[in-house]
């Protein structure tokens, strides 16, 4: 079905008190969710000539976190044709900085030191503006983009040939959308995974976050200008992200012990954590709130089955990991492109489409596993010490920078330095357990490996 063949109908007049008949739409692909994954997929499919309906339950622009992009994002933004627009709303980001609350020590990881150096910077963006640009781009490319329209149900045809997606507009008007293929990009709503009961939570990474925008936060200067700062606090970590207009995004992510026994509003909890951090509170002197304070649970999860006849889950709708290293938007947009490729293949050859959908989920799961290894150990004193006193023996530091730059898909050249880093971590951990490790882990634990 071409874009100009999409069927649209309007509900007819109704008797007083009667339930409205659903408005009818038809498309090659329905994309549920208008965030980075869904908008990327919708734009890509529309550019390939497919009839696409894109559903977003909220209205753009809307507040969201995940404001720090990675160099690998730039390739996708360029392919979508929106890179100049993003550059106009962004703060230039040349790297990431880690700061220890315990020692006050700071360590910079410039993207220019990555193994893959074709992209050596990224952007820090307000997600309200960023997501709006992506959504409008999908509509501009030809997708039928509907805001304030929430998917409420789905019925798959028994022969595997498409589905009927039910939705509802903000005014209560029901929609019935006939689709040959469905991409679930509903984010942490997990539209399909929840209904299919295939969502598995990973309680090993059970955290919570409180966050807000502020004005008047002290910014890094000179070679650290534009960097995202990761402040390593007790039982968790802070992000400090400089944005345009003098706004700074600040959030605290803590494990269960960080929140245990604490009560109060999200604002009170966030301010208490800031006051308890010597490095963050120093930068916050005289700062003022510039937004509401939000909170969320950050536990990780993944769908046991992420694809099937006529559907594919992408982005956070398939799986979520604590986005400590700014990987969330990159994974979502990568999934959007891969999901569009799988949907495009399905429309021509279902067998090939199924294979590509399964490969998409495997690739995304592997990327999440690679970054999760670091995230799950972020509170470990040995890992913290290795970040704050990095060694480049066997190119370990450059391999880690490569991951921080968003090169999450494995290659032999990139994998060997990461394997060396993991081996060093396990070796130092074993020495520490038998009493042979350094006495001040965050300050000197990695010292024997410096080179």
- Residue by residue, pLDDT tens for the chain (451 residues) are 545 444 344 443 444 455 567 799 999 999 999 999 999 999 999 999 999 999 999 999 999 999 999 999 999 999 999 999 999 999 999 999 999 999 999 999 999 988 877 889 999 999 999 999 999 999 999 999 999 999 999 999 988 778 999 999 999 999 999 999 999 999 999 999 999 999 998 776 778 899 999 999 999 999 999 999 999 998 889 999 999 999 999 999 988 778 877 788 999 999 999 999 999 999 999 999 999 999 988 778 999 999 999 999 999 999 998 777 888 899 999 999 999 999 999 999 999 999 999 999 999 999 888 888 888 888 888 988 888 888 888 788 888 888 788 776 666 677 888 888 889 889 988 888 887 655 444 444 333 333 3
How many other β-carbons are positioned within 10 Å of the β-carbon of residue 66?
A: 21
CB 52 within 8 A of CB 140: no
Handedness of CA 238, 244, 246, 247 (dihedral sign): negative
CA atoms within 13 A on the CB side of 71: 24
Helices (H), 214-307: 256-259, 266-276, 278-283
Domain with CATH 3.50.50.60 in the chain: 3-67+127-201+300-372
Query: Could you identify the residue written with the tokens 């990780």?
Result: 300
pLDDT at res. 444: 40
Pairing of strands 23-32, 52-55: parallel
How far, in Å, CA of 68 to CA of 124, rounded? Answer: 5
Taking the domain 207-297, which CATH number applies? 3.30.9.100
C-alpha dist (Å) from residue 189 to 32, 66, 184, 186, 384: 10, 16, 10, 6, 33
The b/e string for 79-93 (b: 16+ C-beta within 10 A; e otherwise) is ebebbebbeebbbeb
Q: Peptide bond preceding 158: is omega within 30 degrees of 0, i.e. cis? A: no
pLDDT at res. 410: 61
The pTM assigned to this predicted structure is 0.89
pLDDT at res. 16: 47
Pairing of strands 300-303, 319-320: antiparallel
Q: Which residues contact 437 (CB under 8 A, 6 or more apart)?
A: 382, 428, 429, 431, 445
383, burial (CB in 10 Å: exposed 0-12, middle 13-18, buried 19+): buried
Structure token pair of residue 103: 């020692």
CA atoms within 13 A on the CB side of 282: 7
**Positions of E strands within 59-197:** 91-93, 95-100, 106-110, 122-124, 144-146, 149-156, 163-169, 174-184
How far, in Å, CA of 71 to CA of 116, rounded? Answer: 10
Query: 194: phi > 0 → left, psi -120 to 50 → alpha, else beta; which?
Result: alpha
pLDDT at res. 118: 82
How many other β-carbons are positioned within 10 Å of the β-carbon of residue 204?
A: 9
Domain with CATH 3.30.9.100 in the chain: 207-297
How far, in Å, CA of 30 to CA of 53, rounded? Answer: 5
pLDDT at res. 438: 54
How far, in Å, CA of 214 to CA of 239, rounded? Answer: 12
How far, in Å, CA of 360 to CA of 332, rounded? Answer: 12
Largest CA distance in the chain: 82
How many other β-carbons are positioned within 10 Å of the β-carbon of residue 54?
A: 29
Length of the chain: 451
Q: For 3-67+127-201+300-372, which CATH class?
A: alpha beta
Nearest C-alpha neighbor of 228 from the set 216, 238, 215 = 238
Query: 235: phi > 0 → left, psi -120 to 50 → alpha, else beta; which?
Result: left
């Amino acid at each position: 079905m071409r874009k100009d063949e999409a069927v649209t109908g309007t509900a007819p007049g109704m008797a007083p008190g009667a339930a409205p008949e659903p408005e009818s739409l038809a498309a090659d692909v329905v994309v549920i969710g208008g965030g980075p994954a869904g908008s990327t997929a919708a734009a890509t499919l529309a550019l390939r000539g497919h009839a696409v309906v894109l559903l977003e339950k909220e209205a753009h622009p809307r507040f969201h976190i995940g404001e720090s992009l990675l160099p690998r994002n730039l390739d996708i933004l360029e392919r979508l044709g929106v890179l100049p627009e993003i550059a106009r709303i962004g703060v230039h980001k040349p790297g990431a900085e880690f700061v220890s609350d315990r020692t006050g020590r700071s360590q910079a990881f410039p993207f220019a030191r990555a193994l893959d150096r074709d992209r050596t910077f990224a952007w820090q963006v307000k997600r309200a503006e960023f997501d709006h640009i992506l959504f409008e781009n999908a509509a501009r490319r030809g997708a039928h983009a509907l805001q304030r329209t929430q998917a409420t149900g789905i019925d798959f045809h028994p022969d595997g040939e498409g589905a009927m997606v039910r939705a509802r507009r903000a005014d209560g008007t029901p929609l019935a959308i006939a689709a040959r293929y469905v991409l679930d990009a509903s984010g942490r709503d997990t539209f399909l995974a929840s209904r299919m009961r295939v969502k598995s939570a990973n309680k090993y990474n059970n955290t919570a976050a409180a966050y807000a925008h502020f004005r008047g936060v002290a910014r890094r200067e000179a070679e650290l200008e534009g960097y995202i700062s990761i402040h390593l606090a007790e039982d968790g970590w802070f992000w400090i992200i400089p944005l345009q207009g003098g706004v700074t995004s600040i959030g605290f992510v803590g494990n269960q012990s960080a929140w245990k026994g604490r009560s109060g509003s999200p604002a009170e909890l966030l301010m208490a954590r800031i006051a308890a951090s010597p490095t963050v509170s120093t930068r916050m002197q005289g700062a003022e709130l510039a937004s509401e304070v939000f909170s969320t649970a950050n536990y990780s999860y993944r769908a046991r089955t992420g694809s099937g006849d006529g559907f594919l889950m992408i982005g956070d709708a398939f799986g979520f990991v604590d986005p400590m290293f700014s990987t969330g938007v990159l994974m979502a947009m990568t999934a959007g492109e891969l999901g569009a490729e799988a949907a495009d293949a399905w429309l021509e050859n279902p067998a090939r489409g199924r294979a590509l959908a399964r490969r998409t989920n495997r690739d995304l799961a592997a990327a999440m596993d690679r970054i999760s290894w670091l995230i799950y150990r972020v509170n470990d004193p040995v890992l913290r010490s290795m970040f704050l006193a990095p060694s480049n023996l066997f190119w370990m530091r450059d391999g880690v920078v490569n991951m921080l730059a968003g090169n999450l898909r494995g290659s032999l050249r990139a994998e060997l330095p990461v394997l060396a880093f993991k081996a060093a971590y396990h070796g130092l951990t074993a020495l520490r357990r038998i009493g042979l490790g350094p006495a001040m882990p965050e300050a000197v634990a990695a010292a024997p490996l410096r080179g």
